[in-house]
Amino acid sequence: MTDKVRLAPVGLGRWAQVLARGAQRGQVIELHSCFTRDPEKRKAFQDRYGVPKAASSYEELLADPDVEGVVITTPNDTHRAVITQALEAGKAVYTDKPVAQTLEDALAIRAAVERTGGVFAVGHSARRLSGNRVIKQWIDDGTLGDVSMVEANFSNERGLELTPQTWRWYLDKTPGGPLIQLGVHHADNLQYLLGPVAAVSAVQRKLYTPSEVPDATMAILEFESGALGYLGCGWASPGIYQIRVQGTKQNLMYDLDFTHWDESHEADEWSSLVSQAYGQQERTSVELPSTDMFREQLEEFALAARGQGSVEVGVEEAIRALAIVHVAIESNRQGGRAVEVKPFLDAIEVPSS
């Protein structure tokens, strides 16, 4: 039997395939089994990725003693049940972001993690992009100076392609639309870089998508540090992923070509990070070390499942990112008024920062 960590994807759509390619770029993980309800999709996934087993039910998959962990890419509103069932079966669990659809579901997931003591990781992989790692280093070592403002945008064309046959069409399954699918990445990134957010003011619009969800969000974040941030996300334009950080010593401008997002081992080659120092007339290109966010995060999870490490983004970090989404939605309901984050976290007993 292989010494690789034996994982099983659950939900075998497009994103499961992105993660499968990431896992197979390394030497740590074996995709040992898989499950989705459609037998034809199971067979196609097996054949494409050389997966030796396919379970005919989720219960069968979880009963397989050779499966050490599951990789969940099912719709947001299924996460609570699917994650809890796997943890209670003694499996390590990696789930794609967001951790859940609602904060109540996230609280139940956290309770299951605490009750079972299981390994649990959430796919906020974007913080692992080389540009974000360099920005974090420059903040921590003082190269940027004191940060006063940060601007971030993550948008793509998904809203223009939605149909009633896709779960993202429906507001009750995708609250906030691009905010919970794309903006949640920056909700994690910006708190990773600058610490917790204290309050959010947000406005959402439904402009061009035929679906039920909004396709444009602009949010102002007030950090506990005093810094201000802009978080934008949309579903009605070609893809864009940007972060700009303004410090008293330097500015940093990070831009990633979204068309290369799925192949994360190539993303850094299609990214740029540019600095401009105080008093400097020219902008300077900053070298970006090579990363592979999907492979790295899955391998970290796999090794943690073996007791050989820990995960960087677990349930607490994921809840803090999800809270920003729901606070922004509430702010929009209140006409863009600033809404504090703490009451949302207090309601589900998240520890203070």
pLDDT in tens, 238-284: 999 999 999 999 999 999 999 999 999 999 999 999 999 998 889 99
The average pLDDT across 164-180 equals: 93
pLDDT at 1 > cutoff 60:
no
Q: How confident is the model at residue 313 (pLDDT cuts 50, 70, 90)?
A: very high
Half-sphere exposure in the Cβ direction for 258 (13 Å, CA):
14
Total-model pTM: 0.94
Determine the CATH number of domain 127-291+323-340: 3.30.360.10
Q: CB within 8 A of 302, min separation 6: which ones? A: 5, 7, 28, 29, 68, 69
Q: What is the DSSP string of 126-157?
A: GGGSHHHHHHHHHHHTTSS-SEEEEEEEEE-S
Say whether 127-291+323-340 and 5-125+296-313 share the same fold: no
* The token pair that represents 235 in the structure block: 């579903």
The predicted-structure confidence for 341-353, as pLDDT tens digits, reads as follows: 999 998 877 665 5
How far apart CA 184 and CA 197 sit, in angstroms, is: 13
Q: How confident is the model at residue 102 (pLDDT cuts 50, 70, 90)?
A: very high
Domain boundaries, the chain: 5-125+296-313, 127-291+323-340
Q: What is the dihedral of CA 79, 82, 87, 89, to 10 degrees?
A: 180
Class of domain 5-125+296-313: alpha beta
Q: How confident is the model at residue 195 (pLDDT cuts 50, 70, 90)?
A: very high
